[in-house]
Chain A
C-alpha cells in the first residue's frame, strides 16, 4: 500500500497535464466558436486542397489566436 505515496502525486500530475492541454486548446481559440465547427466537419474538402502544408496557413492560424 505504501506505493500510494508515489502513485497519488503521479496521478495528480497526469490530471494536471490534461488540464494543461485543455488550457492550450483554449488559448488557440478552439472553444471560441462552438457552433460552426460541428457543421464545417460535414463539408467535403475540395479535391486538390490536401497537399504540402502551406506556410502561409501558419500565419493564418497565429492570427486566429488573437
Chain B
C-alpha cells in the first residue's frame, strides 16, 4: 500500500469541539464553523441560553470530542414501568429523584454545563454529576415537567442519557465503602494515640517509671486498642476464617493469628502488670492493612461497572409506523412484524428486513468493517448499525434481547462472569509465608522451652507479631496504585492491578485492524492517472453527502472553499497546488453508483466502474483496469474518474494505516511478543495491512465475526500462554473479555472500552508500547517490594528467635518496612512523566 495522504488539520477548527472541520463542511460566509450537526446544535443552544462563555472558557485545553445529539424523544422515561423501577419520590413538595447515565462526559466544562440544567429547564431543582462514573442525579418536579423533557435537554447539550441500571448495586457498594473508611478512621485514630502512649512508655524504660503512671498508660493502650481489634480488624478475621473453611492458608491468617495472640497476651500482661505489650504495633498493623485494602478496592471499582454500558448501544425506543401515522414506543413494546422508521443518522433499534427505502449502513459495530454497506429493499439489517444516508422503513424480525447485538453482549457478560479471579503475586507468596511463620513460631517455642520455659511464650509471640506481613500486604496494592496513577496522567487508563500483572508477561498480541492499527476513517490512499484532476474531483465530491465522498475532502485546496490562513495552505505537500475557486454545477448523484457534474465547464464523472464506463465514449485503458484490480486486491475501494467522456484516473480509497503502528509492533516483537492481526474485514485488506506492518500472511486472519474472534482467543488461551487482545469495536468486546488482558484504543465504542482491562486514552497506538513496558516495570516493582518486606520479616524473625527482639524494636521495624515499600512504590519510574494536554 502506498502512503496515504496524511489527514492534515484543516484551516478551521470546530467552534464547539475544536477539532478540524472537514473541508467539505466549511461555510465560507459564516464566522462559526462546525465539524458536525451535533456540535452545531449544542453551540447554538449554549449561545441562546447565554451559557457559551462559561462553557468554552472551562473547556479550553481539555480534550474534547464532537457532540453527539441523538434527537431522541425519550418518551420511554415517562413510562409508569420505568418510574416504578428507577424513580424515587422525595418526601418534600412532590419532588422526584433519579439517576441517569450520560454519554460523552469528560471534563470540568461538562460538569459545569450539566449542573446548569435547572437554568435550562426550570422544573429541575438540582442536577449533580459524578464525573468518575458519568452519572447525574436529577431532582425534579414531575408536576412541572416530565423526565423525558429533562433527558431531551441533556441530549440537546450533547449528553445522551440512559437509565442507570446499576443504581441498587451502587448503593450497596457505597455502603461497604463507607464502612471500610470508618474502620480505617477508627484504626488510624487508635494507632496514633497508642503510639503516643507507647512513646511515653519507651521513654520511661531506662529511668524507670512510677508504677501508677505505667499502669495507667498500659491500661489506656489496652482500652484504646480494643475497638481497633474488635471492629476495625473484623474483615481480616473474617477472611482468615473463610480461608480456613476453604482449607487454604489465606494471607490474612498469620495477621489474624498475630493480632489475636498479641492482643490476648498483651491484655494478660497488662492485667498481671508485667511483661511486654505490643498494642502500638498491632494498631499500626491494622491501620496499614486496612489502607492497603481500601486502595485495592478503589482500583477494582471501575472494573465492576464494566457491563453497565452495553445497554446504551441500541436505542431504547423506536418509531413505529402504523398506516399513515407513526409513534414512539419503548423497545420492549416493539414486536416482530411491526414496521419501524429509521431516519438518516440514527442507529437501528431492531433486527429486521428493509421494506421501503435504500441507504448505506455503518456496520462497524458488528463487523468492524470500515466501509459503509449499501442496503435496499429486502436486505437483512441488524440493530446497532447506523443508517447513514436516507430514511428506511424496516419490518421487525427481532427486538430487544433477541437482536444479534444483544446476544453478542450476553456473551460478553457471560465471559466477564466466567473470568477466573487472578492469583496475585502477594497471594502466591502468602501460602509459603504463612507456613514458614507458623513453623518458625513452633520451633522457637520448642527451642526456648528447653532453655527457659518462662521466656519461651514471650519469644514465640514476639515472632508472630513482628513477622506480621504488613509490608507484604501493602507491597502489591501500593506498587499497582502508584503505577495506575502515573499511567492515568499519561492518558492510559488501567482498571486494576491484576490487569497490569497480566500485561507484564509477553505472549500473543492480537490486534484488530480497523480503528486499531488503521485510523478507521476512509481516506484517499492512491491516485493513478491524471493528477491535475484531483482538485476538480474533490470540488465535485464536496457536493455529495456520501461517506466515500468525504475521503476526497482533504484534496480540496482551501482556496476553493473558504479563505484560510496561509500556513494551512502551505502545508499541503502531496496535494495539487491551490488555485482559484472552482465553479461546480449540474451535479447529479446516482445512489450507490456515482456522481456527475460540470466543474469549470468540464464534464466529470466519478464513481463505480460500470457507472463511469457507461458514460465513456471509448473502452477503458488497460492501466485503469489493472489499477482497479490492484486496489480491490488490497481491500481498497476503486473509484473511477472520467473527464469529457474519457477515462482519466482511478482513485483507491481505503482506511489509512496509523503511522506509528509499525514501530509499535516492532517494539512489541523485540520485547518477546508474538503479534497477529485479527479482523472482521475483508481478508485481502487484512493481508495487505499485515504486509505493510511486516507480518507474515499466516499471522493475518480476516473475515472474523465477533464469535470467531472470541473462539480464536479461547483457542489460543487453551494452548497456554497469555493472550492480549487490542481492539476498538463492539465486535471485539467478547474477545477483549476472554483474553488474558483486553486493551481498548481511543475512539472505540464505549462498550469495548468498558469491558477492556486497559484503555489507551491518547490517539494512536504509541501508548500501547508504553503500557506493555510500564506493566513490566510495575511487576518488577512489586517483586522488589515483596523481597524488601520479606527481608525485613526475615531479620525480625531471626531477632525474635534469638530472643533479642523487644517491643521497641518491633515498633521501629514494622513502620520502617512499610515506609520502604511506600517510597519504592511511589519513586519507581513505571510510566513516564505526565503529559499536559
What is the minimal beta-carbon distance from A23 to any residue of chain B, in angstroms?
Answer: 5
A64 contacts B137, C-beta separation under 8 Å: yes
- The answer to whether B213 and A1 have CB atoms under 8 Å apart is yes
Closest to B57 in A: A44
Q: Tell me if A's interface is mostly helix, strand, loop or mixed.
A: helix
Measured CA separation A65–B137 after assembly (Å): 12
Q: Which of B91, B129, B213 contacts A62 (CB 8 A)?
A: B91
Q: Chain A contacts of B177 at CB under 8 A? A: 31-32
- Is there an interface contact between A19 and B178, defined as CB atoms closer than 8 Å? no
Q: How far apart are the CA atoms of A59 and B139 in the complex, in Å?
A: 10
B682 to chain A, nearest CB (A): 43
Asked if B58 CB lies within 8 Å of chain A CBs, one says yes
Which residues of chain A from 9 to 30 have any CB-CB distance to chain B below 8 Å in the complex? 9, 11-12, 15-16, 18-19, 22-23, 26-27, 29
B92 lies within 8 A of A43 (CB) = no
**Segment 39-60 of A: residues with Cβ below 8 Å from B:** 39-40, 42-44, 46, 54-60
What residue of chain A has the Cβ atom nearest to residue B135's Cβ? Answer: A33
A19-B189, A63-B97 as given contacts; A31 in contact with B90, CB under 8 Å: no
- Alpha-carbon distance A1/B213, docked complex (angstroms): 9
Mark interface residues in B292-313 (1 if CB within 8 Å of A CB, else 0). Answer: 0000000000000000000000
In the assembled complex, B186 has its CB within 8 A of some CB on chain A: yes
Q: Which of B58, B119, B128, B178 contacts A43 (CB 8 A)?
A: B58
Residues B111 and A19 in contact, CB atoms below 8 Å apart:
no
Flag if B174 contacts A32 (CB, 8 Å): yes
A26 to B97: give the CA distance in the assembly, Å: 21
A16 to B226, CA, bound (A): 14
**B220: which of A8, A23, A54, A64 is its contact (CB, 8 Å)?**
A8
- Identity of the chain A residue whose Cβ is nearest the Cβ of B213 in the assembled complex: A4
| Chain B residues within an 8 Å CB radius of A26 | 178, 181-182, 185
Q: B112 and A43: CB pair below 8 A?
A: yes
Q: What chain B residues lie within 8 Å of A35 (beta carbons)?
A: 130-132
In the complex, chain A residues whose CB is within 8 Å of the CB of B90 = 59-60, 62-63
A40 to B58, CA, bound (A): 11
Q: Which of B90-123 contact A (CB under 8 A)?
A: 90-93, 95, 97, 108, 111-112, 115-116, 119
CB pair B213 A15 closer than 8 Å: no
- CA–CA, A12 to B132, complex, Å? 37
Contact of B92 among A8, A36, A44, A58 (CB under 8 A): A58
B15 contacts the other chain (CB 8 A): no
Contact B129 A12 (CB under 8 A): no
**Contact partners of B708 in chain A: CB under 8 A:** none
The answer to whether B834 has its CB under 8 Å from any CB of chain A is: no
Give the residue name and chain of the A residue nearest to B178 (CB). Answer: A26
B210: which A residues are within 8 A, CB to CB?
A: 1
Minimum C-beta distance from A20 to chain B (A): 10
**B139 with A60: CB separation less than 8 A:** yes
Residues on B with beta carbons closer than 8 Å to the beta carbon of A44: 54
Among the interface residues A31, A39, A44, A54, which one has the most CB atoms of the partner chain B within 10 A? Answer: A39
Alpha-carbon gap, A40 to B112, bound state (A)? 8
Instruction: Say yes or no: A59 contacts B92, CB within 8 Å.
Output: yes
Q: Is the CB of B111 within 8 A of A5?
A: no
- Give Cα distance in the complex from A31 to B179, angstroms: 11
Whether a CB of chain A sits under 8 angstroms from the CB of B419 is no
Q: Which residue of A lies closest to B131 (CB)?
A: A36
List B154-191 residues whose CB lies under 8 Å from chain A.
171, 174, 177-178, 181-182, 185-186, 189
Measured CA separation A42–B210 after assembly (Å): 56
Task: Decide yes or no: A42 and B216 within 8 Å by CB, A26-B178, A64-B128 being known contacts.
Answer: no
Q: Tell whether, in the assembled complex, residue B108 and residue A43 are in contact, meaning their CB atoms are under 8 Å apart.
A: yes
- Report the minimal beta-carbon distance from A31 to chain B, rounded to whole angstroms: 6
B193 within 8 A of A: yes
**B132 touching A18 by the CB < 8 A rule?**
no
Q: In the bound complex, what is the Cα–Cα distance between A8 and B502 (angstroms)?
A: 51
Please tell me if the beta carbons of B216 and A8 are within 8 angstroms of each other in the complex: yes
Residues in B neighbouring A22, C-beta threshold 8 A = 182, 185
On chain B, the residues within 8 Å of A43 by CB distance are 58, 108, 111-112, 115
CB distance from A54 to the nearest CB of B (A): 8
* Distance between Cα atoms of A21 and B763 in the complex (Å): 45
Residues B128-161 near A (CB distance < 8 A)? 128-132, 137, 139
In the complex, what residue of chain A is closest to B110 when comparing beta carbons? Answer: A39
Smallest beta-carbon distance B230→chain A, Å: 15
Contact with B193, one of A15, A39, A58, A63 (Cβ below 8 angstroms): A15
Docked complex Cα distance between A9 and B220 (Å): 8
In the complex formed, the residue of A with least CB distance to B224 is: A12
A56's partner among B92, B108, B115 (CB-CB below 8 A) is: B92
Q: Are A56 and B185 in contact (CB under 8 A)?
A: no
B128 and A32 form a contact (CB under 8 A): no
Q: What are 28 A-to-B residue pairs whose CB atoms are below 8 Å?
A: A1-B213, A4-B213, A5-B216, A8-B217, A11-B193, A12-B193, A15-B192, A18-B189, A22-B182, A23-B182, A23-B185, A26-B178, A27-B178, A32-B174, A33-B131, A36-B131, A39-B108, A39-B111, A39-B131, A46-B116, A55-B93, A57-B125, A58-B92, A59-B90, A63-B97, A63-B139, A64-B128, A66-B171
For the complex of A and B, the 4 pairs showing the least CB-CB separation, nearest first, are A59-B92, A35-B132, A59-B90, A36-B131
- Taking A46-B116, A60-B125 as given, write out 6 further A-B residue pairs in contact, using a Cβ cutoff of 8 Å, ordered by the A residue number: A12-B193, A12-B220, A15-B189, A23-B185, A39-B108, A64-B137
